[in-house]
Amino acid sequence: MTTTTSPTVLAAARGPLADLRGIALGRVIRVELRKMFDTRSGFWLMASIVILGVLATVGTVLFAPEEELTHNTFAAAIGFPMTIVLPIIAILSITGEWSQRTGLTTFTLVPHRGRVLLAKTVSSVIVGIAAMLLALVVGVVGNVVGTAITGTDLVWDLSVAQFGTIVVGSLLCLLTGTMLGMVIRNSPGALVTYFVMTLVLPTVFGILATSQPDFVDVRPWVDAELARSFLFEGPPTGEQWAQVAVTATLWLVLPALLGLRAALRSEVK
C-alpha cells in the first residue's frame, strides 16, 4: 500500500523553510541595524560618535588659533575620531557572529551567508553616512558658537566637493574594518590588525621614504593611509584619485574578496 501526501500538506510543511529562505534583504538590514544598538556595548559605541564629536568641537574652540576657527577646521576635528570609531563598528558587526557565537542562530534563520554579510556591510555604511552628516551639523554649530565666543568672523570654507571626498575617505576606513572582519573573523585579532595597518605600516613606509629616496614616488601608490589623506585634505587631483584607487584595490578590494570567500566557507561553531 502506498501513502500519498496532499500538496496542501507538503506546502504547509515547506512553508516555514520557504519563508526563512525568502527573507528580504531590507528586513535583514533592519535587523543588523537594530543589533548595533540593542546591547549596552553597542549603544555606548554608537553614543561615542556623538560624545567624541562634541569633545572635538569644544577642544577646537579652546585650543585652535582664532584665525583657524573655520567650518573646515571643525569638520576635520570631528571627522578624525570618527575614522577610528567607524571601522571598529564595522569590525564588531562582522565578527560578532563568530566571536559571540551567534552565527549558528543567524545563519540558520538566514542560510545565505552572503545576504547576511551584505546586510552587515550596508548597515555599517548607513551608520557611517549618518555619522558624517552628524559631523557636518556639529561642525556648523561649533563654527557658529565658537566664532561667537571668540568674536571672530564666520568662515564657511568647506565646499560640497570637499565634504564629499571626506565622506568617501571615511567610508574607505569603515570598509577596511568590514574587510578585516571577514578575513580574520575574530574581534581582537581584527582590531589589532586594523591599528597595525593604520599606525605601524604608515610609519614603516615613512621610514623607507626617508632612507630610500627612490621610494618617495612609489609610496603614494602603496601606502593606503597616505592616499586616503588626500581625500581629507581637499579635492584630490587626477593622479591622487588614481593613487586612492590603486591602494584601495591592493589593501581593500582584493583582501575583501579573499575574506568573503573564507567567510562563506568557514565553519561556524
Which stretch of 35-44, 96-105, 193-202, 219-228 has the lowest confidence by average pLDDT?
96-105
The answer to whether position 19 is within a domain reads no
Segment 222-238 mean pLDDT? 90
Percent of the chain with pLDDT over 90: 34
The answer to whether position 100 is within a domain reads yes
The answer to whether position 175 is within a domain reads yes
Q: How many other C-beta atoms can be found within 10 angstroms of the C-beta atom of residue 165?
A: 21
Pick from 91, 111, 89, 84: which is nearest to 20 by CA? 111
Q: How far apart are CA 151 and CA 163, in angstroms?
A: 26
**pLDDT tens-place string over residues 70-116:** 888 888 888 788 888 889 989 988 888 887 667 667 777 788 888 89
Q: Tell me what percent of the chain is helix, strand and coil, each rounded to the nearest 5.
A: 85, 0, 15
Give the range of the structural domain holding residue 173, as residue numbers without chain letter.
Answer: 25-256
The answer to whether position 268 is within a domain reads no
Which stretch of 140-144, 194-198, 205-209 has the lowest confidence by average pLDDT?
140-144
Segment 56-82 mean pLDDT? 82
Find out whether 174 and 87 touch, Cβ atoms under 8 Å: yes
Find out whether 182 and 194 touch, Cβ atoms under 8 Å: no
- End-to-end, the C-alpha distance of the chain in Å comes to 44
DSSP designation for 196: I
Task: Report the domain count for the chain.
Answer: 1
Residue 49: is its pLDDT beyond 70?
yes
The answer to whether position 3 is within a domain reads no
The answer to whether position 67 is within a domain reads yes
Q: How far apart are CA 161 and CA 234, in angstroms?
A: 8
Buried b (16+ CB within 10 A) or exposed e, 192-231: ebbeebbeeebeebeebbeeeeebeeebbebbbbbbbbbb
Dihedrals phi, psi of 15, to nearest 5 degrees: -55, -55
Who's near 11: CB < 8 A, 6+ residues apart?
Answer: none
Percent of the chain with pLDDT over 70: 89
Find out whether 166 and 134 touch, Cβ atoms under 8 Å: no
The answer to whether position 11 is within a domain reads no
Residue 44: is its pLDDT beyond 80?
yes
The answer to whether position 54 is within a domain reads yes
Residue 249's Cβ-count burial label (10 Å; 0-12, 13-18, 19+) is exposed
Where helices occur in 5-69 by DSSP H, the ranges are 7-21, 25-37, 40-63
Mean confidence (pLDDT) of the chain: 83
Residue 40's Cβ-count burial label (10 Å; 0-12, 13-18, 19+) is exposed
